Amino acid sequence: MQYQSSLSREALTELALHKYFANVDAKNLDAVLDCFHDNAMLTVQTSFVVHDSRDSIRRMFVDFMAAYKTIIHRDFTCTVDEKNGRIAASFVAELEDHDGNVTLLHNTNFWRIREDKFQEVYVYMSGENPLV
Amino acid sequence: MSKPNYEHYIDIVTKRYFDGVDNYNMEQVLDCFHPDAVLTEVTSMTVHKGRDEGIKTMFKGLFEGFNHIWHGNFVHTADIESEAICSQFTVVITPDGGEELRYENCNRFYMRDGKFTEVFVYMSGDNLLR
């Protein structure tokens, strides 16, 4: 689907890295959900898991944030398509559970923006999916 | 050389690279890469180094092992400024003597002077790019 985005190159990067990932890492659930439209869809493509509303995305993040003591997303490389309201980023996800076990993932996200929020998000993971 | 325009990024991925893969045209496929390019299948961390070495060997194996390959349903995120394009797509592929397989994959292509220097592949199922 092609959406109309109102965001500049800088604003697309700000939305994906700072409004979204920084708040995931800080476990600020409301700020994370504010990045999504009500009917947004988040798909983990490498395991065919689909969360097809903001309520479903909320449930997924509640479980994800509870499952890990620390969540760190780092080493971003962004690819920005301002004209089409799309941004992709590769990054490392460093997840430490409550027993001290650390999982490192080398992932890529794709975001499709309608107006100024996420309409579709696709996640491709290098390992087992923790976003269930 | 000045940076290629937006259309170049879409065209090298669809009309040259994946067209070459789907039509078993090794020369057309390899011509998209720089000699020192690296292709990494991230979901299994398989690394193929060198256009005429690792990457060519990988495609030889792919072409010999499958009798039908199709890439389509593309959605691209193309960035002239960072010389990169990230593409989501469907792959329909049939192993010799096997059942048709369908994947929902993505590739990240990083370029210099209009050709691939690094390619990263994520696959939704078992790695076929061994």
> Which tens digits make up the pLDDT trace of A59-70?
999 999 999 999
Whether A130 is covered by a domain: the verdict is no
pLDDT at B129: 57
Structural domains of chain A, count: 1
Chain segment A106-129, per-residue pLDDT in tens: 999 999 999 999 999 999 988 766
3-state SS of B7-53?
A: HHHHHHHHHHHHHHHHCCCHHHHHCCEEEEEEEEECCCCEEEEHHHH
Residue range(s) defining the domain that contains residue B108: 6-122
pLDDT at A46: 85
Interatomic CA distance for residues B51 and B38, integer angstroms: 7
pLDDT at B35: 98
Best of A2, A12, A49, A81 to mutate (most B CBs within 10 Å, chain B):
A81
- The distance from CA A107 to its chain's CA centroid, rounded to whole angstroms, is 10
Q: Which residues of chain B have pLDDT under 70?
A: 1, 125-130
DSSP-assigned beta bridge partners for residue B115: B112
What is the per-residue DSSP string for A4-20? -B---HHHHHIIIIIII
pLDDT at B125: 67
pLDDT at A126: 84
Indicate which CATH number applies to the domain containing B104.
3.10.450.50
Which residue type, as a one-letter code, is found at position B105? N
Whether A40 is covered by a domain: the verdict is yes
pLDDT at B72: 98
Report percent pLDDT > 90 for chain A.
89
Residues of chain B with Cβ-Cβ distance to A79 below 8 Å are: 77-79, 82, 84-86, 108
Query: Average per-residue pLDDT in chain A?
Result: 95
Residues of chain B with Cβ-Cβ distance to A81 below 8 Å are: 76-79
pLDDT at A81: 98
pLDDT at B10: 98
Cα–Cα nearest to A39, from A101, A105, A112, A89: A112
B122 touches chain A (CB under 8 A): yes
- Could you say which residues from 40 to 69 on chain B have a Cβ atom under 8 Å away from some Cβ of chain A? 42-43, 45
Whether A88 is covered by a domain: the verdict is yes
Q: Which residues of chain A have pLDDT under 50?
A: none
Residue range(s) defining the domain that contains residue A98: 9-124
Whether B57 is covered by a domain: the verdict is yes
Residues of chain B with Cβ-Cβ distance to A3 below 8 Å are: none
pLDDT at A53: 95
pLDDT at A62: 96
Whether B29 is covered by a domain: the verdict is yes
Indicate which CATH number applies to the domain containing A23.
3.10.450.50
Residues of chain A with Cβ-Cβ distance to B84 below 8 Å are: 79
Cβ neighbors of B86 (< 8 A, separation 6 or more) are A79, A88, A108, A110, B76, B77, B78, B106, B107, B108, B109
Whether A27 is covered by a domain: the verdict is yes
Whether A116 is covered by a domain: the verdict is yes
Residues of chain B with Cβ-Cβ distance to A87 below 8 Å are: 77
Cα–Cα nearest to B114, from B78, B74, B88, B76: B78
A122 touches chain B (CB under 8 A): yes
Structural domains of chain B, count: 1
User: Residue A21 gets which letter from DSSP?
Assistant: I
Residue B88 has its nearest CB partner, among A90, A122, A125, at A122
Cβ neighbors of A25 (< 8 A, separation 6 or more) are A71, A72, A73
